[in-house]
Chain A
Amino acid sequence: MSDHLDSPGPITLTIGDDSASVGPPMGDLKTDITDLYAFLKPDDDGEANGELPGKSILMLNVNPLALAPEFETGAEYLIKVDTDNDAVDDITFRVTFSPKVNGQQTGRVDRTDSAGSQVVVPAALVSFGAQATVTTNGPYRFYAGLRSDPFFFDLLGFIDDFNFVNGDFFADKNVFAIVLEVPNRALGATPATTSLWARTRVMQNGALVNDDRVGRAAINTVFNHGVDKNIFNGLEPSQDATALTSEGITFVQSFMNTLGALGGSPALATVLLPDVLNYDFSKPTDYAKLNGRRLRDDVISISLSLVTNGGLTTDNVGPHTDYLDRFPYAGTPH
């Protein structure tokens, strides 16, 4: 529930005489993004290997509760990188998956920038069990498959009017993780103005269309109502400042209204939008300083404190204890 299940169900919408079905594959768990993480590689040995200025770990998690048995074939799982602070992607890591045959599926990673596209990882086995199959190709390392969900949150407390007494809902849950170790130079040369977001695109009527997206944690879940969740998921971050909700107000105004009702500062809306994860890889990663996101960063407590202006400071749960100190960092599946 960072953004787990933020548009889980199909709904039919009517505008005048027109109707549209907004559901599967739009509500497909296989492309439902739960979280995006970006942090400096903890065990970085880049300097020793002459690979300055080090490496980063990018983690895009999907498939909340790991209810779906595979990654979506034909879909795109994207980590987009904006290098110049305009909320438009300059670099894209694109992950795609083969059909699952005889219990096996492979993933491929491409990196695209203004100079063109290169294959980063041509084929890597997806891990469906406890054993993590890690694929290395040059400076890149890749994992895709089942993992312990690193996210922690008293979800039931959130649903129950902020009565945070139920413990960590995700402590025993799994997720499908896409983990990529990249040299920082692959993220561009302007760390101070770099930000990321995750995007999934699915095939519909023969064309790829936007499905889900996530920048910071829990934005869609906490701020967008009803059909606006789907509208927001379909937008690009560069549209966040001006796009309208189904009620005809801007998402910025809608966020301001929710912030005001929660006791927070309405001005925070312009910090939260566009919904991107700032990531200055020349500095230590710390979500509390709006710089990247580590697995152990308590994004919910940080967010609660911000959106309630200190009225609530914690959901009374902390990081999981199963994080690995090595790639792929997310814990062994439950």
Chain B
Amino acid sequence: MKQLDRRQFLGMAAAGSAVALASAAVPMSGILTWTGEQTVKFRAIAGLPKHPLPMYASFVIEGTANLDRGTGTVIKSLYAGAPEAMSTILFPGTARSIRVTGVQRSGDIVTIAGVVDGKAKLGPREKGIVSIVINQAEKAAQADFLGTPVTLRVQ
């Protein structure tokens, strides 16, 4: 595989060549896994804003939750850049640490309940009580971003 410099690439792309995103610079390390059948570890991501606007940021939810104990920690974060070009730049004031208060599993569906760490300043439409629903079969998660439901891709 030969390497192109950016100028060569832009010339090709501007000429209408098909382009495929091959990989992101930020490693997507986490996947949905079970540890000892009772602890779920996951990472889910969604590009925002939604179509037709171009994705500008990446909404990331990641953490662990224990089914037996109903405990765990989940972090919600917003990074600059679409998922395919996500940066390590965290938008200030957007991270939320969530203390897990309950975990339920029903078939492929895992529902995690939690509360946002009291230190976080919530947005006007944002709730302190959080619900995250993970569908293992569809590799999708549902959670709120600032009060709006968002579907995330589990990785």
Contact = CB atoms under 8 A, between A and B. Distances in A.
Interface of A: 1, 5, 7-23, 26-27, 29, 65, 67, 155-156, 158-163, 165-166, 169, 173, 204-205, 209, 221-231, 234-235, 239, 243-244, 246, 248, 257-258, 261-262
Contacts of B22: 12-14, 19
Given A156-B146, A160-B148, A246-B13, A226 B56 contact: no
Given A18-B1, A27-B87, A11 B54 contact: no
B80 A17 contact: no
B28 to A, nearest CB: 13
A257 B51 CA distance: 12
A314 B125 CA distance: 18
Given A18-B1, A19-B3, A159 B12 contact: no
Contacts of B13: 13, 15, 227, 231, 244, 246
Given A8-B87, A156-B146, A160-B145, A15 B19 contact: yes
B89 interface: yes
Contact of A227 (B7, B19, B56, B123): B19
Nearest first, the 6 A-B pairs at minimum CB distance are: A261-B52, A20-B9, A9-B87, A248-B16, A8-B87, A10-B25
B49 A5 contact: no
B53 interface: yes
Interface string B49-92: 11111111100000000000000000000101110111111011
Contact of B6 (A17, A162, A234): A234
Interface string B87-103: 11101101000000000
B125 A11 contact: no
Given A20-B5, A65-B92, A5 B17 contact: no
B129 interface: no
Contacts of A163: 125, 146-148
B48 interface: yes
A9 B54 contact: no
Given A15-B12, A163-B146, A222-B54, A26 B18 contact: no
Grouping DSSP codes into helix (H, G, I), strand (E, B) and loop, the B interface class, with mixed when no group exceeds half, is loop
B49 to A, nearest CB: 5
13 contacts: A5-B87, A10-B85, A13-B19, A15-B13, A17-B2, A21-B3, A65-B92, A160-B145, A166-B146, A230-B10, A231-B13, A231-B14, A246-B18
A282 B129 CA distance: 57
Contacts of A15: 4, 9, 12-13, 17-20
A204 B80 CA distance: 24
A248 B125 CA distance: 40
A246 B81 contact: no
A236 to B, nearest CB: 11
B120 interface: no
Interface string B113-134: 0000000000111000000000
Nearest to A243: B14
B6 A9 contact: no
Nearest to B18: A15
Nearest to A29: B89
Nearest to B20: A14
Contacts of A160: 48-49, 125, 145-148
Contacts of B31: none
A9 B86 contact: yes
A258 B52 contact: yes
A228 B84 CA distance: 12
Contacts of A257: 52
Nearest to B59: A159
Given A156-B94, A160-B147, 4 more contacts: A7-B85, A13-B13, A166-B123, A228-B54
B80 to A, nearest CB: 4
Contacts of B14: 231, 235, 239, 243-244
A13 B9 contact: yes
A18 B22 CA distance: 11
Contact of A166 (B48, B53, B124): B124
Interface centre among B7, B81, B85, B92, by most A CB within 10 Å? B85
Contacts of B52: 257-258, 261-262
